[in-house]
Structure 1
Amino acid sequence: MRKADATPHAAALIESMRDIGYSLETALADIIDNSITARATHIEILSDTASESPAIGIVDNGCGMTEAQLVEAMRPGSRNPLDDRDEHDLGRFGLGLKSASFSQCRRLTVVTRRQGQTSCAIWDLDEVARTNEWAISLHSDPASVPWSDRLGETGTLVVWEELDRLSSGIKHDLARGADHMNRAIAMAERHLRLVFHRFMEDGRQAVSIWLNGRKLQPTDPFARQHPGHQEDPEDRLQLVGGVVTFQCFTLPHHKSMSKEEWEELGGPEGHLRSQGFYIYRGRRLIITGSWLGLARQTELTKLCRIRVDIPNTMDASWKIDVKKASAQLPPAVRDRMRHIVERFAQTSKRTYQRRGQRLVDEHRMPVWQRVQKDGIIIYRPDPEHPALANFSEALPAELRQAFASCISLIGGSLPVDALHADFAGTAEEIRADEVDEETIRQTLEAMVPRLLAQGCDADQVALVLRQLEPFKTAWAVTEAMLKEFTKDADDE
């Protein structure tokens, strides 16, 4: 048996490494992983998008590297993925720094400082293409490197230049290229605030992440700071490679939150697509809002979010990829998660269903009746509602049947298909039409006497009406009018 040299061609392989599938946000996250692993507590992302030579830099105050360690870190495949890792190590393949950087730029510079010694190394893909050699450049004076003055006593600076992927068209149109890069950076911000939120929330050990001088605030996908959230006890599953921890959270109903809070939780894709599992590896988020084939995304389950924590000792069984953006469930974990989903999804549904049941409570005189017949739910206007019944009684006898037909027509014309489509996508944006003050007054004239006749006092009448539309939305107007009606009744 003979052997032949199969050393990969540097120029070809290093270009292939650019297409693993990173976006700007996942590439930045991979660099920040290295900073957190190096025990950094202060991380800055800096960008120069307006110049003819745009650049992005990430600088931290971590432990830094010696020159020998830097050279090793710049080597593709610097760590064997089968090696044991420290439990706080967010890396695995020894590729992240290089593959993430090459996906965005053709020139990668790393300046690092440790024990008073500063080292600098550069990967230049154009130089590799020219020489076809796996060679980096070592510089003894990094003063000309952008943002090198931001490096403290210890730490590391990563600089991306020649941003050919990110600054498409910038050589021909500086303004358009800068605008494109700024939009990409703005989109990456939300991703970083979410992926590293647990590190950013960690009390005195919190990691602060800054973007061009502005401190980023963490985005907690479980709304744990909001008093309306619900959380279950943790559930632990012991496996050969470690312990998997599950915890279920139910978000507050959108009506108990401000619009800004609700939109922040839903993110750019909205709550329907944000429900499901949030999988963390070493407290770092790797999968965001997916049922992983164990359930469907529905309107009634969109408040469900389940946190899953796995240790880095289970990377192989979970098939964690280089970008730390996808994983596959081991069979034992899939079985446990299926049971959790079946039980927990009912909690979110009850949050909505209880609200629906209150709206059609027969003791509160709803305009719409909810009728179940042969497994079908029907909504129809209630002709016995005081406002409708009083109006019907005031009509001449020959017009009453015509009025009843009009009410029946309204019920039979309910746009069910359109409502279903709207609720499936943007339920929180659906509103009932507003009514004028005269309509409120006429409805109160019909309802208040009926409630008083049933034995309700003025406070109970107000309590009932405040939970019903259209009074709930226009409560200030309703309350002022209500005092007139209940005062007259008290006088009588």
Structure 2
Amino acid sequence: MGTVTRNKLETREVDATPYAASLIEGHRDFGYNLETALADIIDNAITAGARTVELIADTVADEPWIALADDGSGMTETELVEAMRLGSKNPTDEREAEDLGRFGLGLKSASFSQCRGLTVLTRQDDRTSCARWDLDRVAKRNDWSLELIDNPELVTGHDLLPETGTVVIWEKLDRLSGGYAHDRAKRAEHMNSELSHAEHHLRLVFHRFLEGAKPRLKLSLNGRPLKPIDPMATSHAATQKDPEEILRLRQGDVLIRCHTLPHHKRMSREEWEETGGPEGHLKSQGLYVYREKRLIIAGGWLGLARQTELTKLCRIAVDIPNTMDAEWKIDVKKASAQLPPVVRERLKKVVERFVGTSKRTYRSRGQKLVDETRFPIWNRVQKDGQIVFRPNLEHPVFRTYAEQLPEDLREGFERCLRIVGSGLPIETLHAELVGNAEAVTADETSANDLEELVYSLAVTLMENGVPSDALSDTLQSNPFLRVRWEAAAPILEDFLRTRIS
């Protein structure tokens, strides 16, 4: 056999250094918005051991600016230069257990997404260091020259720097002007609106750090402390909690905890709206994934279930360590992830069981509301595979009134009731219940109508053998009267007093 000769590739090296102006502009478009950008800066502060983070925003100045000041460990000048380098950390490097970083891009990419001027002031061991990226300067020079500032006392935000810590300052806020760069009032209004949305996001994302009598972190916006928003309503007495499950994997443990939120009538309006968030409870149901106690996914089933009205109070907290970043495909913004196959399989079973239990609970409750022994005003009827709701013509109020009518008018009265039933606005009701169910409520009942209902039911119950001393408990089992019992109770007392006398 002949000898096979393998020729060695001949290579040459050329300089392919990325153009600074192009690359740094590209870092502005990683998909950050104001809330995710601010959260990324706060991640760095927490990783640096900060106990306090102050978010200061001057939206009315000729040149608006935003600063985040923390009392963390601060940096030396060498560490600052490294922190300002794009891609300062390898995402595959092993991290400390509570390190919230990912790629070493967050400080720069998050900041550039909102501004063209990024300045960082930091102090450690009584020595202050200051560095700045000015994107306009980079575009003009097309090089990677970072500016080091030797007189930091002249920098905006210098007065916010604690004895030890860091201040991140955003200037040239071109992405936050809302197109109102030359209208100062409207620009400020737009920026304040964006900050308001960001405030809710930060209270949610860092809620575990903000909770408790001695919170791990104190966070404020323009001097106003931000309170945590717990999407699980963990401390509410009416929240239902399933036993936790632990999925042990080679890269670490995944902790799974299922919660069912209380019905909106058992929560204050503020609690209900905060846990539902801007999009409401229908959209906020589902999985809440935490990475080192920091929320990275807030709601949605990630393909494991459908969002329905029956499951809108179902929420599952999933805790993962930062050692699983690659498996979960955590993105630069730490705002999205993908379920690893082994976790998806376990969660699929958890979700099926949890959602199934919730649906059965709601269906059971629905059946009780239309139980015939409770004299419902509406009857639920299955007809040709469909569900129809009809006025209950045998309801004591309807029956009593019909019996008081002349014989020739009774059929007309019952026909009117049937027409009311046929005209039930199903499509409109469905749209309202899907979009904003908690805002749909029954109309107010007049005192005379309530009195007629109580008297009619009481008479009918007694005629059917219910003793007078059991009337109160029996009537309160009626959902309509139960929510109006404060007004109905005196009417029943008058009825009993009249009957006894």
What is the TM-score with the length of structure 2 in the denominator?
0.94
Give 1:307's match in structure 2, choosing from 282, 296, 317.
Answer: 317
Retained in 1: the 8 A contact 2:67–2:167? Answer: yes
1:453 aligns with 2:463: yes
Question: How many residues align structurally?
Answer: 491
Retained in 2: the 8 A contact 1:253–1:351? Answer: no
Correspondences of 1:380-391 after superposition (within 5 Å): 380-391=390-401
Inter-partner Cα distance in structure 2 for 1:404 and 1:13: 76
Give 1:471's match in structure 2, choosing from 464, 481, 486.
Answer: 481
Partner in structure 2 of residue 222 of structure 1: 232
Partner in structure 2 of residue 14 of structure 1: 24
Partner in structure 2 of residue 294 of structure 1: 304
1:139 aligns with 2:124: no
Report the secondary structure of 2:13's partner residue.
coil
Retained in 1: the 8 A contact 2:397–2:453? Answer: yes
Query: 120-129 or 362-371, which moves further after superposition?
Result: 362-371
Deviation at 1:355, TM superposition (A): 3.1
Partner in structure 2 of residue 440 of structure 1: 450
Retained in 1: the 8 A contact 2:455–2:492? Answer: no
Q: Which whole-Å deviations, capped at 9, do the CAs of 1:298-322 have from their partners, x for residues lacking one?
A: 1110000000111111111111110
Inter-partner Cα distance in structure 2 for 1:477 and 1:240: 61
Report the secondary structure of 2:43's partner residue.
helix
Retained in 1: the 8 A contact 2:119–2:168? Answer: yes
CA RMSD, aligned part only? 1.6
Partner in structure 2 of residue 155 of structure 1: 165
Report the secondary structure of 1:290's partner residue.
coil
Query: 450-459 or 474-483, which moves further after superposition?
Result: 450-459
Retained in 2: the 8 A contact 1:242–1:314? Answer: yes
Partner in structure 2 of residue 180 of structure 1: 190
Query: 349-358 or 415-424, which moves further after superposition?
Result: 349-358
Gaps of 5+ in 1: none
Structure 1 counterpart of 2:405, which letter? Answer: L
Partner in structure 2 of residue 323 of structure 1: 333
Correspondences of 1:119-134 after superposition (within 5 Å): 119-134=129-144
Retained in 2: the 8 A contact 1:52–1:171? Answer: no
Structure 1 counterpart of 2:48, which letter? Answer: A
Inter-partner Cα distance in structure 2 for 1:415 and 1:171: 48
Between the aligned residues of both structures, percent identity stands at: 56
Inter-partner Cα distance in structure 2 for 1:379 and 1:296: 26
Report the secondary structure of 1:165's partner residue.
helix
Correspondences of 1:39-188 after superposition (within 5 Å): 39-188=49-198
Q: Which whole-Å deviations, capped at 9, do the CAs of 1:437-464 have from their partners, x for residues lacking one?
A: 2212222222111222334344532233
Correspondences of 1:363-374 after superposition (within 5 Å): 363-373=373-383
Deviation at 1:210, TM superposition (A): 0.5
Structure 2 counterpart of 1:429, which letter? Answer: A
1:417 aligns with 2:431: no
Inter-partner Cα distance in structure 2 for 1:327 and 1:337: 15
Query: 347-356 or 176-185, which moves further after superposition?
Result: 347-356
Taking structure 1 as reference, are residues 205 and 381 closer, same or farther at Cα in structure 2, changes over 3 Å only?
closer
1:281 aligns with 2:291: yes
Gaps of 5+ in 2: 1-10
